[in-house]
Structure 1
Amino acid sequence: MANLPIFDVAGSAMQAQSTRLSTIASNLANAESVSGDPNAVYKPREPVFATFQVGTDPALLGVQVAGVVESQAAPVKRYEPGHPQADADGYVYAPDIDPVAQMVNLISASRSYQASVEMLNTAKDLALATLNLSSR
């Protein structure tokens, strides 16, 4: 049962969405972090996905994380002269992270992960039902 390609497809999708969930969590956790140096600000991360062929069927594709890239967006410059991390001009720098967009991305990743779990469970149930039919 473990060599069925559908398990590889569902498993690869779950692993990719897990990485996506982790990067979103990291971005949200650092959304309010600031620095007095624009080069030291947290840079939001985003996974990059790539497909790969599963088994011998060219139409059956899985997904894998090709890498995780940091955003090249400039940090947000805020004038907060009383902040302990403000630079000499009174500015602090924050990462360019939109929490609402990150939450939407989080919901999408969570639902994709859940759909992969359901696909895996359905494939397992069908494989077990097939084994039960053949043993009668």
Structure 2
Amino acid sequence: MSFNNIYDISGSAMNAQVMRLDTIASNLANADTAASSEAEAYHALKPVFAAMYQQSNDATDDSNGVSASVKMLGIVESDRAVEQRYEPNNPLANGDGYVFYSNVNSLEEMADMMSASRSYQTSVEVLGRVNSMQQSILRLGQS
């Protein structure tokens, strides 16, 4: 595997974690939003990722013909039920006096944020180590 492939893999992993952090930020920002119906209530967003492996027939490719990356397949809404509270004096209350709140679980989102941050940091460390390896190889070539 060439150094370029390592950079590509780490870069795609970092992009995936940034998208994950973006959806978490959106979810946390809307955690306590209220609506007058279940359909209007904010539903938590979840990114969907896949590992992509590609076979290369390029003779100049020194990666043994295989490369990998992380691909974002899309963003889906959580199917968890929204919270329904009886608040007849709330201006958003429906005819029955209920207000609907988002289905965001702040505790889960915070744990997911910590996981995404650590994954991002791991990719940064991989890039740092590859850079250090390349510098060591260059110093060997100079001596």
* TM-score between the two structures when normalised by the length of structure 2: 0.86
Partner of 2:19: 19
Cα distance between partner residues in 2 of 1:5 and 1:88? 59
Partner of 1:73: 80
Could you report, residue by residue, the CA deviation over 1:68-116 in whole angstroms, capped at 9, with x for unpaired residues?
Answer: 1112233111111121211111111011111011100100000000111
* Equivalent AA in structure 1 for residue 85 of structure 2: R
CA apart distance, 1:31: 0.6
Contact 1:51–1:64 (CA under 8 A) maintained in structure 2: yes
* Equivalent AA in structure 1 for residue 8 of structure 2: D
Contact 1:15–1:64 (CA under 8 A) maintained in structure 2: no
CA apart distance, 1:14: 0.4
* Equivalent AA in structure 2 for residue 17 of structure 1: Q
* TM-score between the two structures when normalised by the length of structure 1: 0.90
SS in 2 for 1:4: helix
Aligned length: 134
Contact 2:86–2:98 (CA under 8 A) maintained in structure 1: yes
SS in 2 for 1:62: strand
Matched, 1:121 2:128: yes
* Pairing 1:1-136 to 2, within 5 Å after superposition: 4-53=4-53, 56=64, 58=66, 61-136=68-143
* Equivalent AA in structure 1 for residue 88 of structure 2: P
Cα distance between partner residues in 1 of 2:22 and 2:142? 43
SS in 1 for 2:35: coil
% identical equivalent positions: 40
* Equivalent AA in structure 2 for residue 19 of structure 1: M
Contact 2:36–2:99 (CA under 8 A) maintained in structure 1: yes
* Equivalent AA in structure 1 for residue 34 of structure 2: V
Cα distance between partner residues in 2 of 1:111 and 1:98? 20
Contact 1:43–1:71 (CA under 8 A) maintained in structure 2: yes
